[in-house]
Amino acid sequence: MSLLQEIKEDIQAALERDPAARSWLEVVLFYPGFHARLFHRVAHALHRRGVPLLPRGIMHLARFLTGIEIHPGAKIGRRFFIDHGMGVVIGETAEIGDDVTLYQGVTLGGTSTLRVKRHPTLERGVVVGAGAKVIGAVTIGENTQIGAGSVVVTSVPANATVVGVPGHIVAFRDTSNNTIQRLPDPEWERLNELDRRVQELQRLVEHLEAHVRGLHDGHHAPAGEPAHRETGE
């Protein structure tokens, strides 16, 4: 496929995935994710040819202009879309498949100081929410959705939904009928149970307070009468 056709696909991806996009001209002129991808195409081609310094210089300029940092060595597939984009960081050995979407503040980071595969692999159709961090040489299966603010440090199978810190799977998409199958969440269930118990205790305390007030009021004699009557045999 020609470079021009790939660029057209990137524009179309932005129009399809961002309802705020009104025209291809708006994407070309004002979308930092689209601009960062253009810079990366040039830098990556030079990086693969072993050109020193220049690829990093190109992406350094791209970071200054767009707020998006992509290492020239990262491998990125077709129809890649970064929405908003500010604060996105993509490491050197990251691999991104076709039709992947990243939102602002996403980090595809590494954990090793060795010159090995140390950044994530995102397979086709992955969506990573705002502020999420995917760390290490993990693989995120195709069509997986990672919730905003999640921290993922282990590999995730295809068609999953991941949330939390650390990230855990809460649902799977059934591709046969396109439905969501939610998984039991022990932590959430325990929080719900604790909330229920707190509400029960609150009701019990209120009942006891009302009972004590009733007893206290009952020990006061009516106005004008002595508090205690003397009795004789």
Residue 233 has pLDDT above 50, yes or no: no
**pLDDT score at 226:** 55
More confident residue, 153 or 173: 153
**pLDDT score at 219:** 66
pLDDT tens, position by position, 66-121: 999 999 999 999 999 999 999 999 999 999 999 999 999 999 999 888 889 999 99
Cα atoms in the 13 Å half-sphere on the side-chain side of 132: 24
Angle between helices 3-17 and 32-48 (to 10 degrees): 150
Distance CA 105, CA 133 (A): 8
Give me the count of residues in the chain: 233
Residue 131 has φ and ψ, to the nearest 5°, of: 75, 0
pLDDT band (50, 70, 90) for residue 190? confident
Query: Mean pLDDT over residues 193-200, rounded?
Result: 91
pLDDT tens, position by position, 120-170: 999 999 999 999 999 999 999 999 999 999 999 999 999 999 999 999 999
Distance CA 70, CA 94 (A): 9
Listed in sequence order, the residues at least 6 apart from 85 whose beta carbon sits closer than 8 Å to its beta carbon are 32, 33, 36, 66, 67, 68, 102, 104
What are the residues facing 108 on neighbouring strands? 90, 134
More confident residue, 140 or 171: 140
